[in-house]
Amino acid sequence: MKKVSFLSILFFSLTTLQAQWVKLPAFTNYDLTACDFVTNKIGVVVGNNGAVYKTNDGGNNWQYISPEKGIDYTSVEVNSVDTIYVSGCKSSTSGLGVTKLYATFDSGNNWLLINNSSVTAEKIMVKSNNKSLYFLTAWRGLQKSNDNGLNWNRIWNGGGTTVLSNLKFDNKKAESLFGFGNYSGYSTYSSIFRHLTKEGKWHNSWVLDFGNDAAYTSFNVLNDTVLLFQNNYSRWMPTETNNRFIMLYNFIESESAVGAGDTVWHFSNKVINNSISHYVQDCHFFSNTGLGFSVDLTGRINKTLNGGTNWTTIYNGSDTLNCMSMLSDTIGYVVGNKGTILKMSKTPTGTKDLPEDVISDFIVYPSPAKDKITIETSNQMNRSTIKLVNLTGQIIFREKMTSGSKEIDINNLTKGIYFVILESNTKIGTKKIVKE
């Protein structure tokens, strides 16, 4: 079989493949509230009434691995193929519930209860950066563990009129964790409260520019800049109109605003978009590219190419979408109500099948990347050659693939576009990456 040239396959990849969102066959009718994937094939989805499912093949098959039935799971964190955390709340007839955080270190075969408490049924979330584990319950505050949940340190007490409901790490600073929530007064639901890790410490922070009956709905953080959706509320209930996309910037010490030593957030000079009508449930932005996605209450996936100035609906469904997990600009998953699972992947257009001498069964992530990239391929291709080349075709890196996964250090490369090429005796494939 004749080998395809690098230029030929590069042209094929850029002109015949595009990313599309496809709805996977439903296997449950329960609402799915959260998802997390570590590769394009391996991930976990969670939801109401004990729903915890894992896939090892990109959503073709799902395994029920729930640690406890009857819990409404709201958060999942997949650290590796083996290590998974899930959290949720089990309601009671008294109106209170029991929050529970479970961990497994063997892919869901066995689970350990590592944190639990009685609490009102507010949003519960677990986040990890592979060094520390954070567990958030709205009325029991924020706890941190450095030993996989064996011991906990409470770093925020929670409760009162300030309710944190979401945690995210800065996309470019793995140690910088942001917690967002809202402040509720007697007659209004206004402003935003934020907790921030900065140099290993936590600081109280406030956004004072919102006005009455306005609250955040979803956010991302890129290099200390918050990309935020703000929505109008009507007596603590979300509406589907008057959502807007805003950038928050600058930490300002202010003694007169809240208290001595507190930090105040202010809006940037520009509200990026003031006409978004959908209530955003979750969003993800890629640094330095302007590319972003959001999912909303009405079942739509929306896309921006210019950092939020303009949005286009690229998928329009009928059921509420709740959470997205993006591995790259072309690989991602979304979950929603009534068992909805959507998958984003590259599919050929204008041709029925890939050429038989083009390798398609391998992935490279993340992109954009700063320090390292990971290459994963099938076992059948683990005796191939991996090359990293720049736009001029110069080979930067060359090495044999001896297993199905390989990590490459790109920390010393200059910023720009590169291509990862996988070659066997008869086949060749390529993936584009962006070095930040």
The CATH number covering residue 276 comes to: 2.130.10.10
The model's pLDDT over 101-141, given as tens digits with 9 standing for 90+, comes to 999 999 999 999 998 876 655 567 788 876 788 888 866 77
Q: Which helix (H) or strand (E) holds 12?
A: helix 6-16
Percent of the chain with pLDDT over 70: 64
Same domain, 99 and 243: yes
pLDDT class of 191 with cuts at 50, 70, 90: very low
Range of the domain at 157: 18-347
Last residue of some domain: 326, 347, 368?
347
Helix, strand, or coil here: 214? strand
Calculate the average pLDDT of the chain. 75
Same domain, 237 and 383: no
The model's pLDDT over 415-433, given as tens digits with 9 standing for 90+, comes to 887 888 877 765 677 777 8
pLDDT in the model for residue 9: 45
- Range 3-28 average pLDDT: 62
Q: Is a pLDDT exceeding 50 seen at residue 180?
A: yes
Same domain, 220 and 190: yes
Q: Which helix (H) or strand (E) holds 75?
A: strand 72-78
pLDDT in the model for residue 35: 96
Position with higher pLDDT, 407 vs 64? 64
Tokens encoding 72: 């409404």
Same domain, 340 and 363: no
Q: Is a pLDDT exceeding 90 seen at residue 338?
A: yes
Last residue of some domain: 320, 347, 374?
347
Same domain, 144 and 254: yes
Count of the separate structural domains present in the chain: 2
pLDDT in the model for residue 114: 92
Kindly state whether residue 381 falls inside one of the protein's structural domains. yes
Helix, strand, or coil here: 401? coil
pLDDT in the model for residue 92: 62
Same domain, 55 and 96: yes
Kindly state whether residue 252 falls inside one of the protein's structural domains. yes
Report the CATH number that the domain containing residue 394 is assigned in CATH: 2.60.40.3080
Tokens encoding 120: 């009102």
Same domain, 132 and 187: yes
Same domain, 219 and 331: yes
| Contact assessment for residue 283 and residue 219, using Cβ atoms and an 8 Å cutoff | yes
Same domain, 290 and 414: no
Q: Are strands 173-184 and 189-198 parallel, antiparallel or unpaired?
A: antiparallel
Same domain, 183 and 221: yes
Last residue of some domain: 316, 347, 378?
347
| Contact assessment for residue 90 and residue 98, using Cβ atoms and an 8 Å cutoff | yes
Radius of gyration of the chain (CA): 22
Kindly state whether residue 7 falls inside one of the protein's structural domains. no
Q: What is the separation of C-alpha 207 from the centre of its chain, rounded to a whole number of angstroms?
A: 24
pLDDT class of 288 with cuts at 50, 70, 90: low
Kindly state whether residue 3 falls inside one of the protein's structural domains. no
Long-range contacts of 150-157 (CB under 8 A, 24+ apart): 150/114, 152/115, 155/202, 156/195, 156/202
Same domain, 130 and 264: yes
Burial zone of 262 (CB within 10 Å; 0-12 exposed, 13-18 middle, 19+ buried): middle
Considering only 192-206, 227-241, 295-309, which range has the smallest mean pLDDT? 192-206
Kindly state whether residue 4 falls inside one of the protein's structural domains. no
Strands (E) in 199-320, as ranges, are 201-207, 214-222, 225-234, 237-238, 243-253, 263-267, 273-276, 280-285, 292-296, 300-304, 312-316
Considering only 169-178, 199-208, 277-286, 397-406, which range has the smallest mean pLDDT? 199-208
Kindly state whether residue 12 falls inside one of the protein's structural domains. no
Kindly state whether residue 6 falls inside one of the protein's structural domains. no
The model's pLDDT over 233-271, given as tens digits with 9 standing for 90+, comes to 554 455 555 677 777 665 454 444 444 455 555 555 456
C-alpha closest to that of 172 among 130, 131, 127, 223: 223
Same domain, 334 and 378: no
Considering only 10-19, 74-83, 234-243, 308-317, which range has the smallest mean pLDDT? 10-19
The model's pLDDT over 324-333, given as tens digits with 9 standing for 90+, comes to 999 888 889 9
